[in-house]
Amino acid sequence: MLYSTKKSVKKEMQPEKTKIGQEPAESLQTRAELSDILRKKGFRLTPQREKILDIFYELPAGEHLSAEELQKALRTENSDISLATSYRTLKLLASLNVLRELDFAEDHKHYELARNPKSPHHHIICLDCGKTEEFESEEIIRLSEDLARERGFQIVDVQLKLFALCEQHVTEPKAS
């Protein structure tokens, strides 16, 4: 591994545990607040971290990037940030609840800016083309909390992923 595996760093990079529907203890609002969050955890807002955050701030709501897609965006802007630095930064920012890490059952993770941590959202993903759409559902959150409570758990996060075929890839059933 290219990054430090010291126990203290690993411990600091664990995500904050909050009840779903509640704002994390430290949520991202402004650049100054982000700098304070990083400083409190023993990290700095380096130029590389700032550049990566700029790319996420510029993404339209609902857009997600993999580390490789982030790297392409960085190259487009003539940045020399390495893929290893991108990976480390993505993991760090996800652990601080600045970015949300998403697993769409591919061979890599996607990331998005945690714009509204109070409102978990879910994804529906086309198995053919990978088209992804976000949606919110209070019913899913309520059901998740009820199920967890019945089983003695406290929810930290809810990420529902529906795998389907989008309208462009649905084939109509053949008449017999």
Express each pLDDT in 46-82 by its tens digit.
899 989 988 988 887 767 888 999 999 999 999 999 9
Residue 20 scores a pLDDT above 50: no
Q: Give me 19's structure tokens.
A: 């009840």
Beta bridge partners of 126: 164
pLDDT tens, residue by residue, 100-111: 887 766 667 888
Q: What residue spans define the domains of the chain?
A: 16-164
Question: Does domain 16-164 sit in CATH 1.10.10.10?
Answer: yes
**How far apart are the C-alpha atoms of 117 and 7, rounded to whole Å?**
27
Q: Please give the Cα distance from 154 to 170 (Å, whole number).
A: 38
pTM: 0.60
- The yes-or-no verdict on residue 18 having pLDDT over 80 is no
Which of 37, 31, 33, 46 is CA-nearest to residue 12? Answer: 37
